[in-house]
Amino acid sequence: SECPPDIAKQLISDFSQPNDMVLDPFLGSGTSLGEAIKLGRKFIGIEINKNAWQAIREKNKNIVIHNNL
């Protein structure tokens, strides 16, 4: 299930500082990606489900996403 944005935002802000790198090894729909970028963090996300990438891109339209599959 998808992580609510407010929970992702709280966790990222509690455990990192601006310009830190955030790693999400289970990217899913990309909620953590969007919240990390909004909070001024760098981001690496891992998602093995190729079908999830379209949803991730759609949800985070204003973010440049590089897919290394």
Each residue of 2-56: pLDDT tens digit? Answer: 789 999 999 999 999 999 999 999 999 899 999 999 999 999 999 998 888 888 8
68, pLDDT greater than 80: no
What does each C-alpha distance from 8 to 1, 4, 22 come to in angstroms?
Answer: 13, 6, 11
Per-residue pLDDT, 1: 64
Q: Which residues of 12-43 are buried (b: 16+ CB within 10 A; e: fewer)?
A: bbeebeeeeebebeebbbbbbbbbbbebebeb
pTM over the 0.85 mark: no
Per-residue pLDDT, 36: 96
Per-residue pLDDT, 69: 58
Among 69, 13, 11, 14, which Cα is nearest to 41's?
A: 13
